[in-house]
Structure 1
């Protein structure tokens, strides 16, 4: 478990699937504006259970690390954060991804979570670089990353297909300061 003053990060376990599904369904229309289109089956308990099993398998393979974001005061799941596409060898890098319950936006929780996972990536996983891609109009997400120490590197043109449209993404990164 990774912990700060207001939140903690914990890998998902199978019994978290119900709470994860509730969070995702509650925020579905909000999140769909910023993420790739998901099949209808994604929004089911079975799909969330399969994802949790896959995340654990991928953690064992050192290719993906997925955590729930929980509030310290009531242990409520309010979001997710991950390191994915972990590359070893000469790159030693990963991408960061996250989402937060819309009603908890603006409270600094995602920034805290990003700082925790960046520290985990550098101190525990010994990664050299973490990258992020954010649609340029998603100012809140860019602000989260900048507060967590990321710097802008450029725009990836028509980088990810979201809701049937190829969207540009602001590329941000952070380098391990211990290297």
Structure 2
């Protein structure tokens, strides 16, 4: 049985969100709408409601219990604010043992090394507790911050996918990267 994570770094507590965190998630979404929207799918107005935040949290907990995905949030040490989010999505077991990694950081925290700080123990947890062999992360070619972050985290370029995902309403190319479990 998989134990849901509760990870700590010097600046963050990392865990699955709970229903009581919905107002914080709404605040994170509203405060970072302009900052994150160039890197995300188009969002319906409903996305920026408390009801949708609660639905997202409930579904995320169900995915984790079903070992399908782990949408984690990095809170400040007092757990009063969401600083960043990251998800191990599309978990595939069997002979593959892999997933996709997606992430976002609050605008005010960008450029301060927080994503690396929280992703390092997160990825270690994915390789350790989850027993994954491969974590894949893809980024837009113009997203130099993600390219540098993933390289620092040990991800290697594996390919280039044309018109891979629909981001901000446009089919965008992506650089495909992956990191393999160091123990397997």
TM-score normalised by L of structure 1: 0.96
Q: Is the 8 A contact 2:99 2:134 kept in 1?
A: yes
Shift >4 Å, 4+ stretches: none
**Structure 1: gaps of 5 or more residues:** none
Deviates more, 1:68-77 or 1:40-49: 68-77
Structure 1 residue 107 corresponds to structure 2 residue 112: yes
Q: Which residue of 1 is the match for residue 11 of structure 2? A: 6
Q: Is the 8 A contact 1:70 1:79 kept in 2?
A: yes
- Paired with 2:12 and 2:182, the residues of 1 have a C-alpha distance of 24
1:25–1:159 distance in 2 versus 1, CA, 3 Å = same
**Displacement of 1:68:** 1.0
**Displacement of 1:110:** 0.5
Q: Is the 8 A contact 1:114 1:145 kept in 2?
A: no
- Paired with 2:76 and 2:150, the residues of 1 have a C-alpha distance of 20
Q: Which residue of 1 is the match for residue 61 of structure 2? A: 56
**Displacement of 1:163:** 2.2
Structure 1 residue 16 corresponds to structure 2 residue 21: yes
Deviation sequence 1:126-159 (CA, Å, 0-9, x none): 0000001100111111211111111111211110
Match of 1:176 among 178, 181, 184: 181
Paired residue total: 179
Q: Which residue of 2 is the match for residue 134 of structure 1? A: 139
Q: Is the 8 A contact 1:8 1:70 kept in 2?
A: yes
Structure 1 residue 98 corresponds to structure 2 residue 135: no
**Structure 2: gaps of 5 or more residues:** 1-5
Q: Is the 8 A contact 2:24 2:80 kept in 1?
A: no
RMSD: 1.2
- Paired with 2:125 and 2:176, the residues of 1 have a C-alpha distance of 21
Q: Is the 8 A contact 2:90 2:99 kept in 1?
A: yes
- Paired with 1:146 and 1:7, the residues of 2 have a C-alpha distance of 22
